[in-house]
Structure 1
């Protein structure tokens, strides 16, 4: 299974840099077995059945992109070297793993000064950058909210800088548990009107947490995709969420994760017989064609990058040939791609 098997031509004009307004007005490509229909996300209640269960990721994106400087003393006085930092995830020792530009001139124990009173000391360089901040708890959260910017994906950040509107646009309406540096983007299509319509239809929801890491944007660099190794991300399925999934399945409802993040978490937590259990820990599950599904019946997701692990995941769900048909249709019909783009509802014929 080669990386080139998951390539396709995507016109740059289809890469969305802003979301649809209102959120549920985005286009929705329904792929149910061999059938393809062009809908809107607002049509979702008419497509789903009473008793279906949507599994939603309640992670909250932190403003993880920081711009600061490294003060250095020279014979001519203090020099300030600009540095850009993207926080990745908190560590057990209180430090944060991070990415930085530039990296090559950083020194151990060097200080980085940001705005809003936020500072960090470089504690680890070998094996990855670790930062120890001068603030903790609520003080850190307040300073980060003021000093940081939303960590937009590279394909958006290359076209424009993040702004205040992204603080709302790049966050789900149910975001609760802070820790992600990328949004569960399929969930960005949901608004209050859509949620009310789903409830009226008898569609149920439950919440899980997967803190999406910056590694989600890392490219696949191996030709044989089966040798690729995923980054680990922390997640939790509560006992209540596990019971909701088991009850829905027992009653004949379909388990439909919204987004690949929720899907990867529940497939990590489920037992081989499809029974869901409570789970807390990290997962580095890699799903590609040939995967044996445990609990997922369908998936709502955005349209993904060529040669990405997420394109491999949807190929595993629908079949590689069918996904090529779906993506060819999406390009031909001018669906918008990636984080701020349109959505698809993928229901394999085995259901």
Structure 2
């Protein structure tokens, strides 16, 4: 299976540069998972596709303001550091620019010395292990000095940082938002609960590797970055009860589906657990837990295009994207949504 099989052409004007005013007013393309039949709705219509007893699985990770700008002491040049994931107590794996100025032992100051970082290791992929020195609580220092790590295809400045967080975000740790969840409002979630739909929270701290285009021709040669996940006991119980009752499991976002299918693969069922996953889902994958998927429109030739193609079929997905482009849907992080729906319960 070739990477180019998951390519498509997209005009830049369809790449959403800012979030829509009201989260749940974005468009929703509803596609039948098996037949590929398509409907055009708005996101607030999602409640019409959820039934009493169904379980909606949400990723409650929270994006860190993980982009820092600093300089080497006594120098004026700008150094950019992007936190990817925590490795030790005060050390993080980071992307840095310009890399040639960030050799082992280099010290960078942020906020006039409020935060300092020293390069301890250079990894094979060019990322750095940086040890940070600060007073107080690291997350509070980040809130003061850092900015949201918006994807490079977003050129506009984000006025409200919370618009790159879900309304249910809770656990700090992501380098990017679980964007399918950005469409939910607290009011819509309340209506969904009042309909008898159960909510189960999982956590997966999103790494930038998830969104990178695949650079190998044969997709089986692609190596995924690992990401931390956690499934609490209450969520495990809710999901397993729904499976026993033949109720539908709806994953919100590719991060939620990767979490659930990782645990089902490793343990045979959903259990309360945490760990690291580098699961790579592409056509041919056998899904064990999730029935329906709420997702955004993804980058061409990305692992996420491969995942959604595996969840339905490549033909159905490519056709849906063709129609979405024709109908001027907004793409990527701040774009519109798609429901890949299994109409009947198990």
Decide which of 273, 279, 285 is 1:279's aligned counterpart: 273
Decide which of 330, 334, 338 is 2:328's aligned counterpart: 334
* TM superposition shift of 1:275: 2.6
Contact 2:263 2:269 in 1 (8 A): no
* TM superposition shift of 1:252: 2.1
Task: Specify whether residues 168 and 55 from structure 1 end up closer, same or farther in structure 2 by C-alpha distance, changes over 3 A only.
Answer: same
Q: 1:44 is paired with a residue of what secondary structure?
A: helix
Number of aligned residues: 340
Give TM-score, length-normalised by structure 2.
0.94
Within 2, Cα distance between the matches of 1:326 and 1:250? Answer: 32
Partner of 1:171: 165
1:191 equivalenced with 2:191 (yes/no): no
Within 1, Cα distance between the matches of 2:268 and 2:128? Answer: 39
1:250 equivalenced with 2:252 (yes/no): no
Task: Specify whether residues 349 and 4 from structure 1 end up closer, same or farther in structure 2 by C-alpha distance, changes over 3 A only.
Answer: farther
Decide which of 109, 116, 119 is 1:119's aligned counterpart: 116
Within 2, Cα distance between the matches of 1:238 and 1:142? Answer: 26
Within 2, Cα distance between the matches of 1:143 and 1:93? Answer: 15
1:131 equivalenced with 2:130 (yes/no): yes
What is the alpha-carbon root mean square deviation over aligned residues?
A: 1.7
* TM superposition shift of 1:349: 7.2
For 1:148-227, list aligned pairs within 5 A: 148-156=146-154, 159-160=155-156, 162-165=157-160, 167-227=161-221
Contact 2:119 2:131 in 1 (8 A): yes
Task: Specify whether residues 82 and 272 from structure 1 end up closer, same or farther in structure 2 by C-alpha distance, changes over 3 A only.
Answer: closer
How big is each residue's C-alpha offset from its partner over 1:258-299, in whole Å with a ceiling of 9 and x where there is no partner? 000010010000158963122211000000000011101010
Give TM-score, length-normalised by structure 1.
0.93
1:81 equivalenced with 2:77 (yes/no): yes
Q: Which residues of structure 2 form unaligned runs of 5+?
A: none
* TM superposition shift of 1:320: 0.6
1:44 equivalenced with 2:46 (yes/no): yes
Stretch deviating more after TM superposition (193-202 or 283-292)? 193-202
Q: Which 4+ residue blocks in structure 1 deviate beyond 3 angstroms?
A: 271-274, 348-351
Contact 1:258 1:301 in 2 (8 A): yes
* TM superposition shift of 1:163: 3.6
